[in-house]
Amino acid sequence: MDPLFTAQLQQTRRQFFGHTGLRLGGIALATMLGENMTASAAPAASGRVHPPLPGVPHFPPKAKSIIYLHMNGGPSQLDTWDYKPQLQEHFNKDLPDSIRMGQRITTMTSNQARLPVAPTKFKFEQCGKCGTWANTELMPFTSKMVDDLAIIKTVHTNAINHDPACTFVMTGREIPGFASIGSWLAYGLGSENNDLPAFVVLTPQFPHNSNGQALFSRMWGSGFLPSKYSGVTLRNAGDPCFICRIPTASAHSSAARCSTRSMN
């Protein structure tokens, strides 16, 4: 990488505040990241606050953003989108070796005397013009939208437990330490949105007594990538962005805190 460009990327807070003009209260992250700043730091990057890597993407993208819902502990694919009618014939029969093919199973089930097949209990129908099979009993509304959905049924993990499987789904590895998918997208594709961070995460709030399944901040962490590619969490309790609230009452204008700029 061009060392001058690298140096500009490593701009100091002095430059940062100098260029952006710090406004509080109604502060917008966009202003914080500042078009001015990018304009000066990386003139080639088309004025975007979160520019993509050079040459990326290599085809004209259709999607503007990606919303990823990680439905941890949700219903099984067999009860939602993955219609497996033959399972009904095998109901309560042992899982054939031709299917299992020596796959490992968790120690929680490996002690079972037998491994019977359990098909879905719900009604499946072909939906929409495309005729996709869907569980219309549990998803009466979503199943009507199948023509607008891309359903991918071909992914799987080798992990048999929640923690490694979720870590794998989100980072590509079962072992912690790698960057999450959102971090990679922020790193490679950046964002066309100049008003928000490239990668935001809405973290859940579980009811008091519910036992939410394995989530870890590594699922939106940047691993070995610089931490600016970490997901910015918007939380479901307290202030969504926990350090945006100014410490005085609202009447105390944020303009009065501008001087950090002139001091730096």
Query: Please, which of residues 140-169 interact with another protein by CB under 8 A?
Result: 160-163
Name 154's Cβ contacts closer than 8 Å, sequence gap at least 6. Answer: none
User: Is the separation of the CB atoms in 210 and 197 below 8 Å?
Assistant: no
User: Could you tell me which stretch among 78-86, 128-136, 142-150, 215-223 binds another protein (CB under 8 A)?
Assistant: 215-223
User: Is the separation of the CB atoms in 184 and 214 below 8 Å?
Assistant: no
User: Could you tell me which stretch among 20-28, 86-94, 122-130, 133-141 binds another protein (CB under 8 A)?
Assistant: 20-28
Rounded to the nearest whole angstrom, what is the least distance from the CB of residue 57 to another protein in the complex?
14
Q: Which of residues 153 and 208 has its CB atom nearest to another protein in the complex?
A: 208
Q: For residues 174-203, which are near another protein according to CB under 8 A? A: 175-177, 197, 203
Q: For residues 107-126, which are near another protein according to CB under 8 A? A: 107-109
* Phi, psi (degrees; rounded to nearest 5) at 255: -60, -30
Q: Does 68 bind another protein (CB under 8 A)?
A: no
Please give the Cα distance from 95 to 168 (Å, whole number). Answer: 26
Q: Does 245 bind another protein (CB under 8 A)?
A: yes
* Phi, psi (degrees; rounded to nearest 5) at 93: -95, 155
Q: How many residues bind another protein (CB under 8 A)?
A: 75
Q: Does 257 bind another protein (CB under 8 A)?
A: yes
Q: Which of residues 25 and 75 has its CB atom nearest to another protein in the complex?
A: 25
Q: Does 232 bind another protein (CB under 8 A)?
A: yes
Q: Does 29 bind another protein (CB under 8 A)?
A: yes
Structure tokens belonging to residue 116: 């019977």
Q: Does 253 bind another protein (CB under 8 A)?
A: yes
Q: Which long-range contacts (CB under 8 A, 24 or more apart) does 129-135 make?
A: 132/81, 133/81, 133/83, 134/80, 134/81, 134/83, 135/79, 135/80, 135/81
